[in-house]
Structure 1
């Protein structure tokens, strides 16, 4: 019965494509069904490290498939574990669930991602660890910027998270401020955005996420936020400087492409509509299909939204619109 249930879940979640192409998800599932021993918390933490490494470097569909198998195993272990182990396993469940939500966000499957955010928050709350609860809510708000929620909803998520830990000197306040700076930029509230950005960039304490799970989290988030905010404000000199630091920081492929799209944003804001649109079109069109992501296409839409309404019939802008429709997961012309 357990094996039949797992096979059904795998089929519903993955479809036939990955099974036909490689069989790897099925192999992992069969291995899961045959396992008789629970994993230690340390083994689960290693699994989290591997999934985070994949999230930053591999196509999101592969990350989703690998996470699904581990989440099924974790669910089974949680169901049968002793009460004393529940907080640690819940912490792992919170991390793996938010990574699943992140992968689904990249795939443009926002409705399913939102369900996984609810699961991640429930697991974080079950861990009893304030830092885990804040981490998940901070990550949820950050993903919300990529077409998952309207900006007012993102700001409300940030407010709700801050109420859990309102200490303005903490890492979490700085992390939330970085997301708030990007959200305010999208609303055109540039002075407020730069004040929030300063809170994020000036923080020099410990990154608490690395204490929760031993993952190398920092891939230039502060430089990325600077690039986003300064580009949106049209501050070319500061945007160029921030982007240079970001691209020199060995970024993952999403940050690499988005940092370059920020240059197109800044170009459009400063009046170079055709040039900026052409930059964005070339970047989006050159991306391998396996690496197409809503986290990239939404920044491409940011370029489009910076074009004044009375200039959106220009051929270069129309080319950008068509490229976004062709390359963004689940994109339609009505969304653009």
Structure 2
């Protein structure tokens, strides 16, 4: 479907849903602002009122407002926005630069980023630096920023996810500012950077258990990647989205659909991306109890020896222990203690192992114990791993793995006291989602 047709059909749907509820455009504007936690001030309502006219006429596409619309209408976002035109969006969505001054526009973007303007601390200081510093960053500095967020000051693999989110928000605002005036080759390269940072931002929101925000940022990552024309970053966004869906973000049918959609983009030629998708498929199939199919998909992943796509704009996003982690997951669900233990050793032998991987392979071991009939032992083992998590590190990736383990307990054993204790621990270790700067 063409971009213009998608915009037109989406605009008609938004108008119909609004009118079905008896809302005028100003009421709709207030509902959208409420959905993102922004105050319904008159200036903002006036601006959104004007923007909605263009959205409903199909002139523009409300990409960054998709989640807000879904919240306001109490609908599933995928049902309301089934297809996104790749050329329809920029990092800041459809906020027109002449609708209000930079401060007002930036405040609304901050709300969409999950930033609280009343917060204090290092991230707010960086925002002030950005406001007074007019120099745009060279492209090579943006490339380094992607790696920095993964491994250095805001290390995605080692730091609490809220800290990662805060630092990313600052860079995303600076990037938005530079994208507004970029053109030609610079604009294309900045779209690659926007896609990369959006992937990391979506990952941080997933770790915080904020699925609505994460899904919105996966959409932004894919749109920016598509606009860049870089196949590797397009597939990276889609691979990571599908993998994150396993952790309570999407139902398993949707995860498998995302995998198939990404495969159509990847093509038939063997590649790392197809192998990576096979690894995610193996995990999904194992959760469905389709263990033979899961093993078959797993072999595609662990046997891939090509080095393609691992040296892209986020070179260190891939680590060799990912194959061992997938093995640990799949073999544990099947109750293969020997293979699970060997895979766990492969993960923990990495000196730079992601703290989530370290916790989750222990939860995989507990899952394997349950699969072999040791329900009480496995439940106590899992409860100990979860209870030991420091609050800032209570990532959705870990907590949901604990929930997967709980769901693996046979129905007849779910009233066992040890299982009840595990259930209580899970209720107390939901991901920590403090406001920015807290």
TM-score range, shorter chain: over 0.9
1:287 match: 389
2:405 match: 303
1:118 match: 219
Aligned partners of 1:219 and 1:252 also within 8 Å: no
User: Cα distance, 1:83 vs. partner?
Assistant: 2.1
**What are the equivalent positions in structure 2 for 1:35-46 lying under 5 Å apart?**
35-46=133-144
1:162 match: 263
1:104 aligns with 2:205: yes
1:151 aligns with 2:249: no
Counterpart of 2:372 (choices 270, 273, 278) is: 270
SS in 1 for 2:431: coil
SS in 1 for 2:311: helix
Change (3 A) 1:267 1:227: same
1:129 match: 230
Structure with bigger gyration radius = 2
1:26 match: 124
Give the TM-score of the pair, scaled to structure 2: 0.72
Counterpart CA distance in 2 for 1:152 and 1:265 is 22
Give the TM-score of the pair, scaled to structure 1: 0.94
User: Cα distance, 1:330 vs. partner?
Assistant: 8.0
User: Cα distance, 1:111 vs. partner?
Assistant: 0.7
Counterpart CA distance in 2 for 1:169 and 1:217 is 18
Change (3 A) 1:207 1:291: farther
Structure 1 portions without partners, runs of 5+: 332-336
Aligned partners of 2:143 and 2:313 also within 8 Å: no
Of Structure 1 and Structure 2, the greater helix share is in 1
SS in 1 for 2:343: helix
**What are the equivalent positions in structure 2 for 1:39-58 lying under 5 Å apart?**
39-53=137-151, 54-58=155-159
Listed one character per residue, the Cα deviations across residues 192-244 of structure 1 (whole Å, up to 9, x for unaligned) are: 00011000000001141322334363151000000000001000100001101
Counterpart of 2:160 (choices 46, 59, 63) is: 59
How many residues are paired up? Answer: 328
User: Cα distance, 1:44 vs. partner?
Assistant: 0.4
2:358 match: 256
SS in 1 for 2:316: coil
1:180 match: 281
Counterpart CA distance in 2 for 1:101 and 1:42 is 23
User: Cα distance, 1:117 vs. partner?
Assistant: 0.5
Task: Point out the more displaced range, 282-291 or 36-45.
Answer: 36-45
Counterpart CA distance in 2 for 1:7 and 1:29 is 11
SS in 2 for 1:328: coil
Aligned partners of 2:193 and 2:313 also within 8 Å: no
User: Cα distance, 1:168 vs. partner?
Assistant: 4.4
User: Cα distance, 1:165 vs. partner?
Assistant: 1.3
Aligned partners of 2:233 and 2:312 also within 8 Å: no
User: Cα distance, 1:329 vs. partner?
Assistant: 2.5
Counterpart CA distance in 1 for 2:320 and 2:209 is 22
User: Cα distance, 1:166 vs. partner?
Assistant: 2.2
